Amino acid sequence: MKIQIYEIQTVAEARTMLELGVDHIGSVLVSSDQWRDEPLQEAIATVRAAGAKSSLIPLFQDVDVIGRAIDFYHPDIIHFCDALPSANVEDPTVAAALELQRQIRRRFPDVAVMRSIAIGEQGRGDALPSLALAELFEPLSDWFLTDTVLCDKNGGDGPDEQPVSGFVGITGRICDWGVARELVRRSAVPVILAGGIGPHNVRAGIAQVGPAGVDSCTLTNAVDARGRPIRFKKDPRKVGAMVSAVRETVALAGGDASIGQQRFNVQRPTI
Ligand SMILES: O=C(O)c1ccccc1NCC(=O)[C@H](O)[C@H](O)COP(=O)(O)O
């Protein structure tokens, strides 16, 4: 059962995550203009040297800049989480996302590709064609990550504006676990359960969804004086509690082989 924690941008936080036993340490490139960041490069090198996996999200789609960033950071995993409007290959946004993954896989065969599969909030699993999207991206992906799409805030029947426009993630809310479970059942690649996961609900998430791994960002971030999560700042106590909860759940189930998406050897993704 892999544990992935996002928004680690510094060597100090990377070291803390390694000490806590995190398996996948995720970082974010927030813009194509400022993709080159030496401290982040050092953080990713620290993860590599410790034998853990680094995962890198580009919050942009420029294939040349993404290629330069992979050459510069050498992440183990490149993670795409752009929001896709449909599962129609004729849709230019969908076609461009598929082509981007195709090009990156061809050019960097040693870098695993993670694709976020957007799922509606709990009870709104019908908001998006999540399973059809997964089917489309499966041949070009080594990992899937379920993530939550905010729905219906404005009384509409589809997705709302997301915390980062054009991308899926950092909502702090759980997705429809029924759809996530069905994705785990159907998927030929390992699935990481994400979206609103923290120490309080990770046991239930593992039990109900049976993923190959779990991910957390918002609910393991530090909070400000008003209790609002601070982007790019982790709370080590929350991460430690999450790691303990996952390890306990796995131990109670009899060890790694008896829980989650056991058909995968997730030590090494299927590239
Ligand atoms: O961290 C970001 O800046 C980010 C922005 C837009 C999409 C994804 C982003 N990153 C993190 C992840 O992919 C998450 O770990 C994920 O969204 C988890 O959800 P949550 O725990 O609810 O924050």
- For residue 270, is it within any domain? no
Model confidence at 152: pLDDT above 70 = no
CB 60 less than 6 A from any atom of ligand 1: no
- For residue 229, is it within any domain? yes
Q: Mutation test of ligand 1: which of 3, 9, 57, 228 has the most ligand atoms closer than 8 Å to its C-beta?
A: 57
- For residue 265, is it within any domain? no
C-alpha pair distances (Å), 68 with each of 48, 54, 65, 71, 179: 19, 17, 5, 5, 35
The pTM of this model reads 0.93
- For residue 185, is it within any domain? yes
Domain of 250, CATH number, reads 3.20.20.70
Q: What is the pLDDT of residues 219-266, one digit of tens each?
A: 999 999 999 999 999 999 999 999 999 999 999 888 765 567 755 655
Query: Tokens standing for 129?
Result: 């064609």
> Count of CB atoms within 10 A of residue 79's CB?
25
Q: What angle do CA 66, 33, 42 make, to 5 degrees?
A: 65
Counting from 1 in the atom list of ligand 1, the atom nearest the Cα of 218 is 23
Full domain range(s) for residue 85: 2-258
Q: How confident is the model at residue 151 (pLDDT cuts 50, 70, 90)?
A: confident
- For residue 177, is it within any domain? yes
- For residue 263, is it within any domain? no
As for the ipTM of the complex, it is: 0.97
Q: What is the pLDDT of residues 86-144, one digit of tens each?
A: 999 999 999 999 999 999 999 999 999 999 999 999 999 988 899 999 999 999 999 99
User: Number of structural domains, the chain?
Assistant: 1
- For residue 11, is it within any domain? yes
Q: Which residues pair with 6 in a beta bridge?
A: 26
CB 170 less than 6 A from any atom of ligand 1: yes
- For residue 57, is it within any domain? yes
Q: How confident is the model at residue 269 (pLDDT cuts 50, 70, 90)?
A: very low
- Percent of the chain at pLDDT > 70 equals 91
CB 167 less than 6 A from any atom of ligand 1: yes
CB 121 less than 6 A from any atom of ligand 1: no
